[in-house]
Structure 1
Amino acid sequence: MSTQSIPRTTLPIPDLAYTGTVTYDATDPDTHYPPIERLLPPDGAPNVLVVLIDDTGFGASSAFGGPVHTPNFERVAAAGLKYTRFHTTALCSPTRAALLSGRNHHTVGMGGITEIATSAPGYSSVRPNSCAPLAETLKLNGYSTAQFGKCHEVPVWEASAVGPFDHWPHPGGGFEYFYGFLGGETNQWYPAIYENTSPVEPWGTPEEGYHFMGDMTDKAIDWTRQQKSLAPDKPSFTYFAPGATHAPHHVPTEWTEKYRGAFDQGWDEVRKETFARQKELGVIPADAVLTERSAGIPAWDEMSETIKPALARQMEVYAGFLSYADHHVGRLLDAYEELGILDDTLVYVIIGDNGASAEGSMHGTTNEGFTINHMNAIESEEYVAAHIDDLGTPSSYNHYAVGWAHAMDTPYQWTKQVASHWGGTRNGTIVSWPNGGVEKGGIRNQFAHVIDVAPTVLAAAGIPEPATVHGVTQRPYEGTPMNYSFEDASAPEQHETQYFEMVGNRAIFHKGWTAVAKHKDPWAGSDHGLDDDVWELYDVEKDWTQSHDLAAQEPEKLAILQRLFLIQAARFNVLPLDIRSAERFNPDLAGRPVLVTAQSQTFYHGMRRLSENSAINIKNKSFTVTAKVEAPEDGASGVLIAQGGAYGGWSFYTHENKVAFAYNLLGLSTDIVRSDTSLPAGPQELRAHFAYDGGGLGKGGTVALFAGDDKIGEGRVERTIPLQFTFDETVDIGMDLASPVSSDYGPTGNEFNGSLDWVRIDLGDDDHSHLIDDEHRMRVAMLKQ
């Protein structure tokens, strides 16, 4: 059977029973069976490479007039097309879920991020099995499939070593191989990596030259070479999703130095310079208007002279990070070229899963931990200025100021999270396929959306949308194939209607008009009801940048579009709109499962890379940690249990044959309590009891150390972390992986040298976590994507 005649609407493709003559003896001349044939896609199906950059606005990359040099993105554009009106959902997890499914983000349950999931269908973070992912469809049609980099689509109660793995990239997402991280971000110097479903460690330290961007690219190149070596006639689908340029902006210093002095003029001037280049490139019309600075964002001239050098350095680091990502995308393209497959590959480069991130505070931060723990007052302008040289290095966990995010979204209003305006949702996108008829070096202005990628890929491969997958009837794709525009710049626009919604920020596009309602700023919580939102109206055929509000002049048009938004919202599971905070952080009220609910949790030797959602919460309360060990004759050393790392966390360990407890306050200071006496050799229980001072959140406490029933030390922890230790560092038993909590040991070689049976944490009954402001909980959750 030829590949063209294989029935592909039912997946897996059913095996057909042999209906011919069955003989008694295999040597009988009448014995004949058709040869076994490998499953392959239809003839001419291309390789597919989808590159999704993180947190990069329309005005960042030089391919779309931005100040950051991205020669490899431009290389793809020279071989293909720039799409100037391609849109995302304004947030990470929803964009990725829509991209990988071909359906709107609420249709696949990703109306927000996984950490704030509710039981409502549009917000559950659970992709229905009636919406099989693109990778699964391609795999069941004979493609090899692999994902590298970021995944933030796994429900939080499933993101542990016990799974289930139905919503992980491998195997549930259809990828035969996965190498990357779960969650919104990771430390690029000390990443929390999974290979398929198993945690693995980086091959080296930053001092040895390790950076995750290079590592994931190496893995992608190796996988591609192996795939083409062993199955050269089998096309591949590769989803390459770096953590760049999401915070932390970690990049080797030599890349940052390329931009030394390039941003001293400030974000307002950078916007003007970018706007001029965008007109020269033709990625915006000659009559486009540069929008006003969005409300609440300070002018560059309003910033103090104390902070300006650090602000400029923040942007230099960000620019270096994006250039560094571009460099590694180029390495992957080089590998395709060396293998002779680049011209037969449909390449998507989507420069941002949303607009640039305005989540770094008004003066930026050296460590996002200050923001997520409501401790910004500690990080004064003077502190930021004094730590300018740490930015981008392993000594920081940095993010740039809001003003830079706005500049990176030039020429549009607003930023990431704001789904109402193009600054949050319009991302420059490049498509090439030299042997597939895609015009070289062109520009396309037809409206497109991230849900259009999946149907475009299937159309290019000649694969129909499946009617059933694994016995489940499928919901049709909701995107529009973009193939119609590959050869014809003047082809009529086919994606004519698209809704947008994110935490109450909402909009509707329909036939050249947009009606929009911004509900909240990206750096603030919700402070009013949905019905109090003010709707704006734009004729985006004439007003490319949404600069002239026509709501007052065209009330009937606005009313029609508002009604259309409600129709689309009802159709695609957007309703009920959900701007709640407190309820969404109470799993019982939200209706989502919780992995750990007990007052006590026992860990065993070898357990590692446990996220904060997988471990008992010891913050804002007393607790006791007990370890059953056997100390060696030559003296004990090494970690018993650690949570977090150099930017915040705690560790219970032995050092120079003494017991120690360390508490790292966001990298500012580390309080270490040590035993007065050395440990005897042999089996014993070691214990640290933390007696919380009380009186509110993030207070200090007294640590008492015990060997058996004997008290062997006592000391103070002056202040604690109230809400979250880090975004990605983990609980590790018998070692401290990634960056170290304590200066008593390094990032490697810190394993406990004795025998460790178990470690148990028991919580006290003095929990003060109820005092955490619910609006701040919401802001913290949104920072995680």
Structure 2
Amino acid sequence: MANNDKIQRGALPIPDLAYTGTVTYDATDPDTHYPPIERLLPPEGAPNVLVVLIDDTGFGASSAFGGPVQTPNFERVAAAGLKYTRFHTTALCSPTRAALLSGRNHHTVGMGGITEIATSAPGYNSLRPNSCAPLAETLKLNGYNTSQFGKCHEVPAWQASAVGPFDGWPSPGNGFEHFYGFLGGETNQWYPAIYENTSPVEPWGTPEEGYHFMADMTDKAIDWTRQQKSLAPDKPFFTYFAPGATHAPHHVPKEWADKYKGKFDQGWDEVRKETFARQLALGVVPADAVLTERSPGIPSWDEMSDVIKPALARQMEVYAGFLSYADHYVGKLLDAYEELGILDDTLVYVIIGDNGASAEGSMHGTTNEGFTINHMNEIESEEYVAAHIDDIGTPNSYNHYAVGWAHAMDTPYQWTKQVASHWGGTRNGTIVSWPNGGVEQGGIRNQFSHVIDVAPTVLAAAGIPEPTTVNGVTQRPYEGTPMNYTFGADAAEADEQHTTQYFEMLGNRAIFHKGWTAVAKHKDPWLASSHGLDDDVWELYNVDEDWTQSNDLAAEEPERLAHLQQLFLIQAARFNVLPLDIRSAERMNPDIAGRPALITAQSQKLYRGMRRLSENSSINIKNKSFTVTAKVEVPEGGANGVIVAQGGAYGGWSVYGVGGKLAFAYNLLGIQLDIVRSDAPVPAGTTELRAHFDYDGGGLAKGGTVTLFADGARIGEGRVEKTIPFQFTFDETTDVGVDLASPVSTDYAAKGNEFTGTLDWVRIDLGDDDHSHLIDDEHKLAVAMLKQ
């Protein structure tokens, strides 16, 4: 590697310096001399960097931290490095990712919540300021190759379409030269919505053919790494590897779930006790730690009915299999590094969760999250869940486990994801290794650390300074603390350097300062806000003596509590946390919230080749009448295949040809499929096909009458008995000329359903009978929160 240590790296891009020597007339003149061109490389000794961020996994899940789920590859990294027992996230997905990749607090970079509830306030607008250049950009401009695989969920909602802008996308806006993954908060692991850089791409196969996104993204990461080391072996890389695991839907091959058969029949209360005993034995909690009581509102295992207990146990078996499956593929990536001879020269972070375990799956879990987001929980009774036990985790489900399991996966702490006030929402087991970088092997570190510490740690390891300017913009300093001081064999007792940290999410808030925390939980994850901020009850914990926040000292030390409450307000003002925002209705209305909306018209025209349009970038046809018109040419012998489809097998609608006839299908959450077909085949040469849905009215989710037309002539009519009121799916899309991913209708398969005629355009026109004003605003917020 060239010695670039004298390069001035404070201003990025590094300026091109003009040649100031002698210029000759003839290149053969002996005085002709120019310095050789040198490739830009980081300082000598800069490591490769791999950051693995697992999704929705609590402190008490992985066996590396005493959990019941076997994760031998996480333990493999721990054996080569250090376990961090007091590493913290933000309690929510998008904010943690934005903080990780910027080195600043999540409100500083505009990510006070998820992108779907952005407001115009600086701490909540989901727009990273250009004064906070991301880590990947800094590394790239210092000579690193950069790549991201897996989940993003940082793109502002109104920018997540094929026309951008791409400032907030992983590539090019967030500094990654290569991106392969999905944009939203979750994706169907069997039928994912994948982007490569800024272009949608399709999976190589179906579930029946062996496809799963976890395996696919790992193969892509391995291929990228091999190519990078083949073509530029002396150039280090930064790879951000962020699986969809273990966010819902918990999709995993059956054999992986079956490894845990019978392992959770004892229920979540006993699993918490068993996990805590292992944590004590491992030393990831101190000997005097206390197992906290079950958080209020979460039922005990004994309170659950015998009807549903087998399905509840299966939910956890599937979740455990999913985490083990993710661990297996992290291991495959590490194996590839080892084969390339680069593992010991790689700084590896394995952050086991971007927040605590998710309590968004209802008290008895769900086989399809669509029931919850569409207020159709009455369909999914305990008997329904029990009857569909064999679907959990398979392509026939869109499943999530019960709240009790989420709490058990956060052992030994109180609360879960979304609850930034307590460690159950924010404390995530983290492992760091770098054998050739002086990181102790097999140790434990108890110093306080936070996700904003990762970026400054990476720069310190690489010998790269924080930039003062990037692209001409003066930079805000990193707000994290480098963790490098904890790496050495003699650093276990080093004084912690990250001594103050605020937490805030949805009104749940806390302040950590020099061994104490003051915390105020505003709302439960499964409930809406029900009172004002000033009515919140603050608790006080001495976390140096009370590891798990089990002994509230607020009544005993009111002066200390008041001091910490004041400190929280100072930090909140400093880092754009104010104004605290617990609103629901206002944040769901783009006009009031002050954010753009991508689609506002009453009509949308789509052209051939337009595919993978997210629900956010498609006109909303729910709770109203609408008409779908297509300009086509039907060949001799008739046309088959999809003209336009939205959604998939778990909910959506489709207009298509079958047996030469025109058809309209409406899929109600995978439990009911209404199909209306024309009375006779569509004549050859037809230039306009139309399907009109006449909404019954009288409220939300009502049915309607479908009428089919060819060149203005009525050719068929039928009924759709009930419709989806809020959201078709989490990640399936609107596609013109084909139905990608899982199929809406059973009339065609997941592959080979392209329209066989000539298709020019499709237009969707809305009626004037919109009933969406009847949607409860609190439920709108709940739907948005389920997306992260």
TM-score (normalizing by structure 2): 0.99
Specify the SS of the correspondent of 1:579: coil
| Structure-1 residue corresponding to 2:273 | 272
Structure 1 CA distance, aligned partners of 2:635 and 2:52? 51
Cα shift at 1:677 = 1.2
1:459 aligns with 2:453: no
| Structure-1 residue corresponding to 2:211 | 210
The letter of the residue matching 2:418 is: Q
Cα shift at 1:634 = 2.2
The letter of the residue matching 1:755 is: T
Structure 2 CA distance, aligned partners of 1:544 and 1:457? 28
Cα shift at 1:635 = 1.8
CA contact (8 A) 2:298 2:403 kept: yes
Give per-residue Cα distances to partners, 1:245-272, cap 9 Å, x unaligned.
0000000001001000000000000000
Give per-residue Cα distances to partners, 1:482-510, cap 9 Å, x unaligned.
00000110110000000000000000000
The letter of the residue matching 1:473 is: T
Structure 1 CA distance, aligned partners of 2:237 and 2:369? 37
* Matching of residues 222-621 of structure 1 within 5 Å: 222-487=223-488, 488-621=491-624
Specify the SS of the correspondent of 1:160: coil
Specify the SS of the correspondent of 2:707: strand
The alignment covers a number of residue pairs equal to 785
Cα shift at 1:14 = 0.1
From 706, 711, 716, give the equivalent of 2:709.
706
1:79 aligns with 2:80: yes
Cα shift at 1:75 = 0.1
Cα shift at 1:684 = 1.5
CA contact (8 A) 2:686 2:711 kept: no
Give per-residue Cα distances to partners, 1:189-209, cap 9 Å, x unaligned.
000000000000000000000
| Structure-1 residue corresponding to 2:780 | 777
1:641 aligns with 2:644: yes
| Structure-2 residue corresponding to 1:721 | 724
* Matching of residues 16-165 of structure 1 within 5 Å: 16-165=17-166
Structure 2 CA distance, aligned partners of 1:773 and 1:283? 44
CA contact (8 A) 2:187 2:244 kept: yes
Identity of aligned residues (%): 86
| Structure-1 residue corresponding to 2:633 | 630
The letter of the residue matching 1:662 is: A
Which deviates more, 775-784 or 427-436?
775-784
Structure 1 CA distance, aligned partners of 2:375 and 2:537? 30
Give per-residue Cα distances to partners, 1:285-305, cap 9 Å, x unaligned.
011000000000000000000
The letter of the residue matching 1:509 is: F
Structure 2 CA distance, aligned partners of 1:293 and 1:482? 33
Specify the SS of the correspondent of 2:524: coil
Cα shift at 1:2 = 3.5
Give per-residue Cα distances to partners, 1:623-653, cap 9 Å, x unaligned.
0000111011122100000000000000011
Structure 1 CA distance, aligned partners of 2:613 and 2:783? 20
Give per-residue Cα distances to partners, 1:535-568, cap 9 Å, x unaligned.
0000000000000000000000000000000000
| Structure-1 residue corresponding to 2:658 | 655
Structure 2 CA distance, aligned partners of 1:553 and 1:544? 18
1:694 aligns with 2:688: no
TM-score (normalizing by structure 1): 1.00
Structure 2 CA distance, aligned partners of 1:569 and 1:698? 42
Structure 1 CA distance, aligned partners of 2:637 and 2:470? 60
Structure 1 CA distance, aligned partners of 2:248 and 2:656? 30
The letter of the residue matching 1:141 is: N
The letter of the residue matching 1:406 is: H
Structure 2 CA distance, aligned partners of 1:683 and 1:660? 15
The letter of the residue matching 1:568 is: Q
The letter of the residue matching 1:460 is: A
Structure 2 CA distance, aligned partners of 1:472 and 1:391? 50
Structure 1 CA distance, aligned partners of 2:524 and 2:650? 27
Structure 1 CA distance, aligned partners of 2:3 and 2:444? 37
Structure 2 CA distance, aligned partners of 1:227 and 1:709? 58
Give per-residue Cα distances to partners, 1:219-247, cap 9 Å, x unaligned.
00000000000000000000000000000
Gaps of 5+ in 1: none
Give per-residue Cα distances to partners, 1:131-178, cap 9 Å, x unaligned.
000000000000000000000000011000000101100001000000
Give per-residue Cα distances to partners, 1:18-66, cap 9 Å, x unaligned.
0000000000000000000000000000000000000000000000000
Structure 2 CA distance, aligned partners of 1:662 and 1:526? 38
The letter of the residue matching 2:342 is: I
Structure 2 CA distance, aligned partners of 1:653 and 1:762? 18
Structure 1 CA distance, aligned partners of 2:723 and 2:637? 34
CA contact (8 A) 2:90 2:355 kept: yes
Cα shift at 1:683 = 3.7
The letter of the residue matching 1:674 is: R
Specify the SS of the correspondent of 1:376: coil
Structure 2 CA distance, aligned partners of 1:558 and 1:778? 32
The letter of the residue matching 2:309 is: K
Specify the SS of the correspondent of 1:3: coil
Structure 2 CA distance, aligned partners of 1:273 and 1:382? 29
Structure 1 CA distance, aligned partners of 2:393 and 2:637? 41
1:666 aligns with 2:669: yes
Structure 2 CA distance, aligned partners of 1:404 and 1:288? 21
| Structure-2 residue corresponding to 1:11 | 12
CA RMSD of aligned residues (A): 0.5
Structure 1 CA distance, aligned partners of 2:4 and 2:303? 64
| Structure-1 residue corresponding to 2:172 | 171
Structure 1 CA distance, aligned partners of 2:396 and 2:589? 34
Structure 1 CA distance, aligned partners of 2:121 and 2:558? 33
Structure 2 CA distance, aligned partners of 1:654 and 1:535? 61
Structure 2 CA distance, aligned partners of 1:186 and 1:634? 38
Structure 1 CA distance, aligned partners of 2:511 and 2:644? 50
Specify the SS of the correspondent of 1:224: helix
* Matching of residues 717-756 of structure 1 within 5 Å: 717-756=720-759
The letter of the residue matching 2:345 is: D
CA contact (8 A) 2:368 2:398 kept: yes
Give per-residue Cα distances to partners, 1:79-130, cap 9 Å, x unaligned.
0000000000000000000000000000000000000000000000000000
CA contact (8 A) 2:686 2:710 kept: no
The letter of the residue matching 2:52 is: V
Specify the SS of the correspondent of 1:377: coil
The letter of the residue matching 2:97 is: R
CA contact (8 A) 2:520 2:538 kept: yes
The letter of the residue matching 2:178 is: Y
